[in-house]
Structure 1
């Protein structure tokens, strides 16, 4: 093993777990990966919360498992975090309430209130680039004011999950444009906090001083001495700005230049691509986000991706390998079953009150194989709507880079290729967001701000054995099935038309 200090750590704090990855940039090798599970607080009102201390406990566990010989060679750290979460701190830097997460839908009333005060949905899109949706941070701030006024009275800092982990590592409060653009109060056109939107959130309090300073994507901050000693890391370690999990997955899949479409099959599903200019979708389906590499990252997010397949798998009492076998026993279209997989409501289309439903049931098609395929197809169709949105924006692609837990399924990979009618490529480094965070740390520490695509190309490999191409017969079948899904969606929810 090399003795150079050329190891970069990627930390990814997701909904289900926190992962730690160690990458040797000299050897171009992932040296270590570990994970610690995270709990989720769910309530019937749509609340989805976590306790910030859980992330720190998980980080301590993962760091304790990192071999000493790897720790001794760490040069940089990058942090990826689930987007949109609201971590409220007081003046002492203490968390004063549970963290409302990206999948929290309890803020519908607050979204409507903010949107009305700001002047309507169209003005939101025109002025800041995005509508105010339940998943975003903005309505969570107003929710805290209305529902926990004692905590709100103490509020001194408004952080995102990845900001909070950076604060723990460095002792400094800061953020960057990519994750900040998922709050609803960053103007993605001017790349600055929008004072009018902040006033719409709380007309009685100037929220601007509570927001973290925005650092450029390639900036670094020294690792704090307290964290350095706690984790037994060498002197001189730098922490990059990090970003939201999707922004870091863009580093980890190569979506740092135009033309590369990334699709992430995780708890949530996302479709995103790099853009050199702001990409505003007048329909509001594509979130107009900044990237964490200095550009923009238009993105469509669904709230029910592996949620759909996992809930179905658990209901069937099957293992993942058994469900893969079930897919072999079914055909495209699940013999007429269509699953609208809105188990947690849905973000795009914007249906926070929606619930999952199964359609086309007969006395012959209610088999485990068809039930599981319908869940996978429903999750895939909702993501396929993202390609329609990119078409409207004039962006075309030659292949899909697939990441996330669902990418491990060969049947799902082929389904994506057939439904999207694009070849599917699988990065050899499977932990997209964690690997991407390590890549951002490498990029920032190397000072290669003007040559990011080349750096990514040097370190990112594609696993040729896992890729697949569309099958013409399946493409034609799925084109018809996708339209049937769209027709059913429109009938069930005419408000999205």
Structure 2
């Protein structure tokens, strides 16, 4: 059948995988790191050119003979980013990213204009949280007025890469639901939420058309020549990184819980109907298969462990080894690891907090463990909301960089009291993008069952399976309650 390429345009890097569905093997992969422009005001930005250059570099590392066999490309992109384009398709300003909290005031302004957070949920299924695309528009109007005046098209990161590949602009429902403007119940834009964002401008006219998840568009011939690809290569609809990771972990039927441990932490599950919470305890997103994807997102996961490693002068791989001599609860040391502000819980102005320090427990090993535990406690806080809503899970499917760490796997299994499985393909988002492209091509030739395709191609690695230890699960329970108590105590400090 040829090869199917998945591209994941993340925050830290761009990753490429080339998948052979006949042999069911990744036959080539490449990655390219990305810079991040960070400001003290919480801003986190990247140049769209950096993504393009990184994609070029990744293709350049793939054998020309393999590039000549590519049939289709799927693109996964970090969600919520804002790429402003003028009428010619040129980028007007740096892209503000999902982890940008400089627009938290604009979140409040939009929700106030719409009638409050609950009214936003009634209108579109979600409140406007820190990082969502909607808040970046009024911020740009205030701080980059010339760019806002020239704005003709609002693109998300994966939309922009699709545009670079094909010359065409579109959005698909999964990534679009992360803007804050999509009514996830009807899968259509909410005029009221667009008007609350800017009452003086028709933002709907700036949004690309919404397309079906199985859409295919041909690559630009000149770009195909540049990248060494056939002119017949097609680009699938693609989607947000969480939506693609859902496909890449086989999370396309109800009952599967995926956990991604990367820069951010996420939990998500498939639903065949909109799953909206009146209190906004989770993101009520669409997925990139025609279904829905209730999702928990934290903004501080490996960010916290990497910061501790940097502070103490060791790598995260060395940090895992350090934990061999520690116990659940880090000897009383407790971290709320909100280094980038936080989305779950909703504390965009939050900062990291360290509690329970004594002369004996303040060691690099305990500090590293407290960071790791704090990141998972934040995810468990969101998980509890999903369970409260009646959702039930038998196991966790783990992806992201943390999935390759036995310490992360065991801690997740123990803390959640669930077995942890790890797909063979560690790059869940890139692999999911490749599978979406494969599904779209198969569907263009007739019916194609995505759940059957995922069952056939998403394989679990039995060597990485991890089971909870009852003693550790019991030990984490009171520490988690302490985490929740400290969370309640610090909320007023960062409420404004």
TM-score, normalised with respect to structure 2: 0.98
Q: Secondary structure at the match of 1:270?
A: strand
> Are residue 252 (structure 1) and residue 248 (structure 2) matched?
yes
Which residue pairs with 1:311 in the alignment?
307
Secondary structure of the corresponding residue to residue 77 of structure 1: strand
Query: Are 1:353 and 2:360 counterparts?
Result: no
Q: Are 1:157 and 2:148 matched, yes or no? A: no
Q: How does 1:355-434 map onto structure 2 within 5 Å?
A: 355-434=351-430
Equivalent of 1:270, from 247, 257, 266? 266
Residue 85 of structure 2 corresponds to: 89
Write out per-residue CA displacement over residues 364-389 of structure 1, whole angstroms, 9 at most, x where no aligned residue.
Answer: 00111101100000001001112111
Contact 1:11 1:78 in 2 (8 A): yes
CA distance in 2, matches of 1:206, 1:495: 37
Map 1:195-234 to 2 at 5 A.
195-234=191-230
Contact map agreement 1:257 1:275 (CA 8 A) in 2: yes
Per the TM alignment, residue 449 of structure 1 is displaced from its structure 2 partner at its CA by 5.7
Give the Cα–Cα distance (whole angstroms) in 1 for the partners of residues 447 and 360 of structure 2. Answer: 59
Decide whether the 8 Å contact of 1:281 with 1:389 is kept in 2.
Answer: no
Cα deviation per residue 1:252-293 (whole Å; 9 max; x = unaligned)?
Answer: 101111010000000000000000110112221210000000
After alignment, is 261-270 or 450-459 more displaced? 450-459
Ranges of 4+ aligned residues in structure 1 off by more than 3 Å: 494-497
Alignment map for 1:235-250 (pairs within 5 Å) = 235-250=231-246
Other-structure match for 2:453:
455
- TM-superposed CA distance for 1:193, in Å, is 0.8
Q: Distance in 2 between matches of 1:325 and 1:149?
A: 50
Q: What is the aligned counterpart of 1:120 among 106, 116, 119?
A: 116
Does the aligned pair in 2 maintain the 1:443–1:449 contact within 8 Å?
Answer: no
Where does residue 462 of structure 2 map in the other structure?
Answer: 464
Consecutive unaligned residues of structure 1, counting only runs of 5 or more, are: none
Q: Distance in 1 between matches of 2:148 and 2:45?
A: 17
Instruction: Please state how far the C-alpha of 1:320 moved relative to its aligned partner.
Output: 2.7
What is the RMSD computed on CA atoms of the aligned residues?
1.2
Match of 1:487 in 2: 485
Alpha-carbon distance in structure 1 between the residues aligned to 2:268 and 2:493: 25
Secondary structure in 1 aligned to 2:7? Answer: strand
1:23 aligns to 2:19 (yes or no): yes
For 2:187 and 2:448, locate their aligned partners in 1 and report how far apart those are by CA, in whole Å. 19
> Aligned ranges for residues 316-327 of structure 1 at < 5 Å?
316-327=312-323
Q: Secondary structure at the match of 1:31?
A: strand
Displacement, 1:494?
Answer: 5.1
Q: 1:493 to 1:38 in 2, by over 3 A?
A: same
1:319 is displaced (CA, Å) by 2.3
> Is the CA contact (8 Å cut-off) linking 2:344 and 2:382 kept in structure 1?
no
Give the superposition deviation at 1:166. Answer: 0.1
CA distance in 2 between counterparts of 1:237 and 1:22 reads: 13
SS state at 1:490 partner: helix
1:350 touches 1:496 (CA, 8 Å); kept in 2? no
Determine the structure 1 residue equivalent to 2:133. 137
Give, in angstroms, the shift of residue 321 of structure 1.
2.9
Shift of 1:495: 8.7
Q: 1:290 aligns with which of 279, 282, 286?
A: 286
Query: 2 CA distance for matches of 1:376 and 1:438?
Result: 31
The answer to whether the 8 A contact 2:118-2:279 is kept is: no
